[in-house]
């Protein structure tokens, strides 16, 4: 597909003003998928040009989030803040060639400009008042910003891999600031210079950047550089249909981790948001790698649906192997329990896992449902369990305990005894099994009760029965 061209290089370029939110995670995923599927490189660049709004904690959260998601990047992380000299150098070149100019307009002036433009219903933006003005007229003591002298005629066209051909009239675009009055580079300048210097061939990002792409294209042209291939992917929206952002309901990926979602499930789900491969719903990352193309990315924004993620996560949990699930669920269990699990308890957890994982959609649910195995007697009954253990039921449990004491302690042996007991009492199995479950697990739902009894062990199980018997 790309055989006669240079190798693909993509990048994910978050600004460290907060955690890695779900939209960013998907952008990273798509960049990663595209680069990896093309045999190219996927780089990471932290856009910390605005030092005031950036934080080390945010940088760490982003790195951690990407690692947790399994989106490993090539090479060293590039910090944009470390490249300011290079950015300024390019502006110098632009200035020399007459493609940029100094602008002495004050913030107040600019504000006025915007307000009157809005009032008159005109395009908002800088009016170019210093574009051709003699620098000799520069006011005293004002540090100028440097603006790009962008074309006023014609149009700028982008051939976007997702959005198609998009064009805008050049007079819609004002002269953007490249270097602030204090000499620091703006985002527009930095991205272009960095993407160029890093050899980025494909810029895949949220389509909230689509309009930026026009300005950036003009900058590329002024610099005499070949613009990268653009692919603006639609945003992820919240349930209300509005852009999901840090200040609008978006959660950091660590929140998904804490809610007990598996990285593989989240990757799979994110793939299905805006991209698809026919009717395929559940597929591995390896398969996504085989199938992924930018062409198949849709143009319409998608809403985030927790129910579907949850369903997918349940599938991944069921398909996970027991040992891995023990590792993954352990932190959740220990946190709820308030203590670490002993070695033999971990073994028990592993043994119980097939029954547990069948009915959990998240690691949190999995942990919750496993707790009864490790709680200490006497168990605190939840409401439903308490309702099950009526006076009659407790009396029955007392008798059942005695017959159970002589049972062969495995699933078959236990089931045989309980069924015989129910027959003898002329009770339906459920009438016996439910109180039994309540007594042993302190809940009304659990894995198969005979399996639970076996895993719990004779002594512990009988003691728990004794606890609720009259």
Partner RNA sequence: GACCCCUUCGUCUAGUGGCCUAGGACACCGGCCUUUCACGCCGGCAACACGGGUUCGAGUCCCGUAGGGGUCACCA
Taking the complex as a whole, the smallest distance from the CB of residue 446 to RNA amounts, in Å, to 5
Tell which positions 304-333 bind RNA, by CB under 7 A: 305, 307-308, 310-311, 314-315, 318
Q: Does 131 bind RNA (CB under 7 A)?
A: no
Give dist(CA 224, CA 119) in Å, integer.
Answer: 38
- Name the segment binding RNA (CB under 7 A); options: 88-96, 133-141, 234-242, 394-402: 234-242
Nearer to RNA, 40 or 370 (CB): 370
Cis omega before residue 378 (within 30°)?
Answer: yes
- Closer to RNA by CB, 5 or 118: give it: 118
Q: Segment contacting RNA (CB under 7 A): 30-38, 103-111, 321-329, 462-470? A: 103-111
As measured in angstroms, the least distance from the Cβ of 342 to RNA is 26
359 binds RNA (CB under 7 A): yes
Smallest distance from RNA to CB 119, Å? 10
Which pair of tokens denotes residue 143? 């540090």
- Cβ 38 to RNA shortest distance, Å: 19
Token couple for 163 = 């959005």
Q: With binding defined as CB under 7 A, does residue 15 bind RNA?
A: yes
302 is a contact residue toward RNA (CB under 7 A): yes
- Residue found by looking up tokens 């692919």 in the block: 231
Residue with Cβ nearer RNA (186 or 285): 186
Q: Which of residues 133-152 bind RNA (CB under 7 A)?
A: 144-145
Check binding of 79 to RNA (CB under 7 A): no
163 lies in the site for RNA, by CB under 7 A: yes
The least distance separating RNA from the CB of residue 226, rounded to whole angstroms, comes to 22
Tokens of 347: 């073994």
End-to-end, the C-alpha distance of the chain in Å comes to 76
Residues 435 to 464 in contact with RNA, rule: CB under 7 A:
437, 444-451
Q: Does 374 contact RNA by CB under 7 A?
A: no
DSSP states along 227-260? PPEEEEEPPEE-TTSSBPBTTBB--BHHHHHHTT
Decide: 188 and 212 in contact? Cβ < 8 Å. yes
Q: Which of the residues 194 through 213 are near RNA (CB under 7 A)?
A: 207-212
340 binds RNA (CB under 7 A): no
Return the residue of 27, 31, 80, 320 that touches RNA, per CB under 7 A: 80
Residue 434 touching RNA (CB under 7 A): yes
According to DSSP, the residues that pair with 377 across neighbouring strands are none
Q: Provide the mask over 391-420, with x wherever binding to RNA is found by CB under 7 A and - wherever it is not.
A: ------------------------x-----
Residues recognised as catalytic: 246
How far is residue 456's CA from residue 450's CA, in Å, rounded to a whole number?
10
In the region spanning residues 258 to 297, those forming contacts with RNA, defined by CB under 7 A, are: 272-274, 276, 278-279, 281, 296
Task: State yes or no: residue 128 binds RNA (CB under 7 A).
Answer: no
50 scored as a contact of RNA (CB under 7 A): yes
User: How are strands ordered across the β-sheet holding 145-148?
Assistant: 100-103, 145-148, 177-179
Nearer to RNA, 50 or 467 (CB): 50
CA distances to 160, 171, 242, 296 from 235, rounded to whole Å, are 15, 27, 9, 15
Tell me the number of residues near RNA by CB under 7 A. 90
Strands (E), 133-201: 145-148, 155-160, 164-169, 177-179
Residue 86 or 123 having the CB closest to RNA: 123
Exposed, middle or buried by CB within 10 Å (0-12, 13-18, 19+), for 125? middle
* Residues whose CB is less than 8 angstroms from the CB of residue 180 and which lie 6 or more positions away in sequence, other chains included: 145, 186
Handedness of CA 331, 337, 339, 342 (dihedral sign): negative
In the bound state with RNA, the residue whose beta carbon lies nearer, of 202 and 443, is: 443
HEC assignment per residue over 434-465: HHHHHHHHCCCCCCCHHHHHHHHCHHHHHHHH
């Amino acid at each position: 597909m790309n055989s006669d061209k240079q190798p693909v290089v993509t990048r994910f370029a978050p600004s460290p003003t907060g955690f890695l939110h779900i939209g960013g995670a998907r952008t990273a995923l798509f960049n990663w998928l595209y680069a990896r599927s093309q045999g190219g490189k996927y780089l990471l660049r932290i856009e910390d040009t605005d030092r005031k709004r950036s934080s080390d904690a945010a940088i760490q959260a982003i790195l951690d989030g990407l690692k947790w998601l399994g989106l490993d990047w090539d090479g060293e992380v590039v910090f944009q803040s470390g490249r300011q000299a290079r950015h300024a150098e390019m502006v110098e070149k632009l200035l020399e060639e007459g493609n940029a100019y100094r602008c002495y307009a004050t913030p107040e002036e600019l504000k006025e400009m915007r307000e009157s433009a809005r009032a008159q219903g005109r395009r908002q933006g800088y009016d170019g008042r210093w574009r051709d003005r003699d620098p000799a007229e520069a006011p005293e003591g004002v540090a100028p910003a440097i603006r790009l002298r962008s074309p006023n005629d014609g149009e700028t066209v982008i051939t976007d891999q997702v959005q198609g051909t998009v064009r805008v009239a050049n007079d819609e675009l004002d002269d953007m600031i490249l270097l602030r009055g204090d000499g620091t580079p703006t985002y527009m300048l930095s991205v272009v210079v960095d993407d160029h210097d890093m050899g980025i061939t494909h810029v895949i990002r949220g389509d909230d950047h689509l309009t930026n792409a026009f300005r950036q294209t003009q900058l590329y042209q002024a610099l005499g550089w070949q613009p990268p291939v653009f692919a603006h992917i639609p945003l992820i929206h919240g349930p209300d249909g509005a852009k999901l952002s840090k200040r609008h309901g978006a959660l950091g990926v660590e929140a998904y981790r804490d809610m007990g979602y598996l990285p593989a499930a989240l990757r799979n789900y994110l793939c299905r948001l805006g991209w698809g491969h026919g009717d395929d719903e559940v597929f591995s990352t390896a398969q996504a790698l085989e199938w992924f193309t930018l062409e198949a990315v849709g143009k319409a924004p998608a809403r985030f649906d927790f129910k579907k993620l949850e369903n997918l996560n349940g599938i991944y949990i069921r398909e996970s192997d027991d040992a891995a699930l023990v590792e993954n669920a352990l932190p959740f269990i220990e946190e709820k329990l308030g203590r670490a699990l002993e070695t033999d308890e971990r073994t028990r957890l592993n043994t119980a896992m097939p029954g547990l994982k069948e009915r959990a959609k998240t690691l949190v649910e999995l942990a919750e449902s496993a707790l009864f195995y490790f709680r200490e007697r006497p168990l605190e009954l939840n409401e439903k369990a308490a309702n099950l253990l009526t006076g009659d039921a407790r009396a029955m449990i007392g008798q059942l305990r005695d017959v159970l004491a002589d049972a062969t302690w495995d699933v078959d042996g236990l089931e045989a005894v309980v069924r015989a007991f129910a027959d003898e009492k002329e009770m339906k199995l459920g009438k016996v099994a439910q109180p039994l479950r309540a007594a042993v697990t302190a809940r009304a739902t659990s894995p198969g009760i005979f399996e639970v009894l076996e895993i719990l062990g004779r002594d512990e199980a009988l003691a728990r029965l004794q606890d609720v018997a009259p």
